[in-house]
C-alpha cells in the first residue's frame, strides 16, 4: 500500500462536504483533475471519494458514467447523502488524480434523457398523462404513462410534436434554485426538496426538476422514435430511442429491408403484399399435400399384411404421411411402429396392455440422442441423425417383437 493514500482510509465520511458535481455545471466536460478525500475498502475493490467529480452516479433513471481515474477503469459510480463514490479495482499512486469520462456513453444518456423529458412534457400537454417511471436500458428507453392503453394515434401525435420541438432546436436551460425560486417555473412534477433544486427547462416542450445530465439544445437529441407501447400495471409503457440509438436502429431496419427486397425480388412497397401472397400459396400447398399424403398412405397400407405387430422404417416417406399410414394400419394390427429417416422421427401406438411404450421411450431415448415420449400406448420421438433413429428403432423392435 502506498503511504500517501493510507490516511484516506481513516477519514470519517460524515465529516466530508458533499462532492462538488462538475457534471451539473458542464455536462460536456470530459477531463478534469481532482483530489482524493477519502477511500473505502469493500471486499475486493475500492470506493474513492473525490473533492469534485465528472462522474454522474446512478440515479433518476439514468445509469452511472464510466471512465478512468489515472487510467484505472471506474466500473461503477454511486451517490449517498451527497457523496459520490467511484468504484475501482486498484488505487492510483497519489491523491491528485486525472479523471476522464467515457463521453460516448455520457452523450448517449444525455440524448436519451433530454428526449425523455421532451416526450413526457408533450404527452402531459396533449393528453394529461403523467410520467410515473423512466428507465434507460441497454436497448430501449422506457417511460410509464398513467393512461391506460394509449392509442396508435396518440403515440404518433406525441412523437410528431416532440420531434417538432427537437427540429426547432429549443434551448435547454439547467437552473439551480430553491422552493421560492421554483415558483417561477411551470414544473411538470411535484418535488419534495427545498434547496439546490435543479430545474431543466426546454422552451415550450417541457419544464421539470431533474438531477440528470442534459444537452444544451434539443436539436442535439437528433430524433425521437417510439418503437412500441404495451400495457403495464394499468398504464402504458412506451419504449423509444433518441439520437444515435435511433440512427443505429434505422440502419439495422434498413439493412433488413434491403435483404428482404433481395430475398423476395420485390420493391420495398411490395414486400408485405409478396409475403402475404407467399403465405396464401403455402396454405394452399399444405391443403393439397395433405390430400396427396392421405392417398399415398392408403396405397402404401393396401400392400401391408395384417399382423400382431407392424413395424416399418421408411427412407422415402415423410412424418406427416406416416401419421396417416398409422391410423389406417391400426385397423389391422394391435401394435404399429413407424419411423422415417427423412425427418428422423418415429411414432408408435399399441392396443396391447402388456407393452408400455412410454416407459421404453423414457428409459432409452436419451441414449440415442433423441427427444420425445408419450403415454403407455402412444409415443413419438425425434432424433438428430439417421444412425440414431435406426439404432433406436432396432432396439424398440427387439423389445416389442420378442
Ligand atoms: Zn430527468
Task: Give the separation between CA 281 and CA 275, rounded to whole angstroms.
Answer: 10
Which CATH number is 286-400 given? 3.10.310.30
What is the Å distance from ligand 1's center to 46 Cα? 29
CB atoms within 10 A of CB 96: 12
What is the Å distance from ligand 1's center to 52 Cα? 22
Question: What is the pLDDT at residue 2?
Answer: 58
- Where in the chain is CATH 3.10.310.30? 286-400
pLDDT in tens, 54-72: 999 998 889 999 999 999 9
Band of pLDDT at residue 88, cut at 50, 70 and 90: very high
Q: Report percent pLDDT > 90 for the chain.
A: 87
Task: Give the separation between CA 188 and CA 120, rounded to whole angstroms.
Answer: 9
Question: In this model, does residue 17 exceed pLDDT 60?
Answer: yes
Question: What is the pLDDT at residue 127?
Answer: 97
What is the Å distance from ligand 1's center to 36 Cα? 29
What is the Å distance from ligand 1's center to 38 Cα? 29
Question: In this model, does residue 274 exceed pLDDT 70?
Answer: yes
| Mean pLDDT score, 387-402 | 90
What is the Å distance from ligand 1's center to 211 Cα? 6
- Where in the chain is CATH 2.40.30.130? 3-101
Task: Give the separation between CA 213 and CA 241, rounded to whole angstroms.
Answer: 17
Q: Report percent pLDDT > 70 for the chain.
A: 99
What is the Å distance from ligand 1's center to 215 Cα? 12
- Where in the chain is CATH 3.30.980.10? 107-258
Question: What is the pLDDT at residue 195?
Answer: 78
Question: What is the pLDDT at residue 53?
Answer: 98
Cell of 294: 392421405
Is residue 101 within 8 A of residue 69, CB to CB? The reply is no
pLDDT in tens, 161-195: 999 999 999 999 998 888 888 888 888 888 877 77
Question: In this model, does residue 1 exceed pLDDT 60?
Answer: no
What is the Å distance from ligand 1's center to 24 Cα? 13
What is the Å distance from ligand 1's center to 197 Cα? 12
Q: Which residue, 338, 342, 341, is CA-closest to 329?
A: 338
Which CATH number is 107-258 given? 3.30.980.10
CA angle at 269 for the pair 268 and 271, rounded to the nearest 5°:
65
Question: What is the pLDDT at residue 402?
Answer: 64
What H or E segment, with its residue span, contains residue 320? helix 319-329
Band of pLDDT at residue 196, cut at 50, 70 and 90: confident
What is the Å distance from ligand 1's center to 97 Cα? 30
Is residue 140 within 8 A of residue 132, CB to CB? The reply is no
Architecture of domain 3-101: Beta Barrel (2.40)
Supply the Cα-derived Rg of the chain in whole angstroms.
34
| Residue count of the chain | 402
Q: How far is CA 84 from the centre of its chain?
A: 30
Amino acid at each position: 500500500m502506498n503511504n500517501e493514500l493510507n490516511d484516506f482510509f481513516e477519514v470519517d465520511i460524515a465529516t466530508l462536504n458533499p462532492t462538488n458535481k462538475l457534471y451539473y455545471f458542464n455536462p460536456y466536460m470530459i477531463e478534469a483533475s481532482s483530489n482524493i478525500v477519502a477511500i473505502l475498502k469493500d471486499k475486493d475493490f475500492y470506493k474513492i471519494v473525490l473533492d469534485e467529480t465528472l462522474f454522474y452516479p446512478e440515479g433518476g433513471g439514468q445509469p452511472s458514467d464510466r471512465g478512468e481515474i489515472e487510467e484505472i477503469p471506474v466500473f461503477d459510480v454511486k451517490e449517498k447523502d451527497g457523496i459520490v463514490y467511484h468504484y475501482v479495482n486498484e488505487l492510483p499512486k497519489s491523491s491528485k488524480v486525472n479523471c476522464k469520462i467515457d463521453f460516448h456513453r455520457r452523450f448517449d444518456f444525455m440524448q436519451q434523457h433530454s428526449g425523455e423529458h421532451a416526450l413526457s412534457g408533450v404527452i402531459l400537454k396533449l393528453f394529461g398523462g403523467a410520467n410515473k417511471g423512466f428507465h434507460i436500458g441497454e436497448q430501449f428507453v422506457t417511460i410509464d404513462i398513467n393512461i391506460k392503453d394509449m392509442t396508435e394515434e396518440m403515440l404518433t401525435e406525441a412523437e410528431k410534436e416532440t420531434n417538432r420541438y427537437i427540429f426547432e432546436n429549443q434551448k435547454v436551460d439547467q437552473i439551480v434554485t430553491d422552493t421560492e425560486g421554483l415558483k417561477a417555473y411551470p414544473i411538470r412534477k411535484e418535488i419534495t426538496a427545498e434547496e439546490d433544486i435543479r430545474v431543466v427547462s426546454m422552451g415550450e416542450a417541457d419544464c421539470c426538476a431533474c438531477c440528470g445530465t442534459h444537452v444544451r439544445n434539443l436539436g442535439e437529441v437528433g430524433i425521437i422514435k417510439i418503437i412500441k407501447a404495451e400495457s403495464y400495471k394499468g398504464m402504458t409503457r412506451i419504449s423509444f430511442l433518441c439520437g444515435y440509438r435511433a440512427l443505429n436502429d434505422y440502419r439495422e431496419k434498413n439493412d433488413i429491408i434491403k435483404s428482404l427486397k433481395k430475398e423476395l425480388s420485390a420493391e420495398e412497397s411490395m414486400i408485405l403484399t409478396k409475403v402475404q401472397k407467399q403465405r396464401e400459396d403455402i396454405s394452399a400447398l399444405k391443403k393439397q399435400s395433405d390430400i396427396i399424403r392421405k392417398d399415398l398412405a392408403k396405397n402404401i397400407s393396401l400392400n401391408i399384411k395384417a399382423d400382431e405387430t407392424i413395424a416399418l422404417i421408411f427412407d422415402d416417406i415423410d412424418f406427416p404421411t406416416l401419421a396417416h399410414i398409422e391410423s389406417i394400419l391400426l385397423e389391422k394390427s394391435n401394435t404399429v411402429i413407424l419411423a422415417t429417416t427423412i425427418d428422423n422421427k418415429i411414432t408408435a401406438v399399441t392396443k396391447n396392455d402388456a407393452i408400455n411404450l412410454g416407459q421404453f421411450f423414457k428409459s432409452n431415448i436419451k441414449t440415442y440422442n433423441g427427444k420425445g415420449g408419450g403415454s403407455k400406448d402412444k409415443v413419438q420421438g425425434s432424433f438428430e441423425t439417421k444412425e440414431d433413429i435406426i439404432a433406436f428403432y432396432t432396439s424398440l423392435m427387439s423389445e416389442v417383437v420378442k
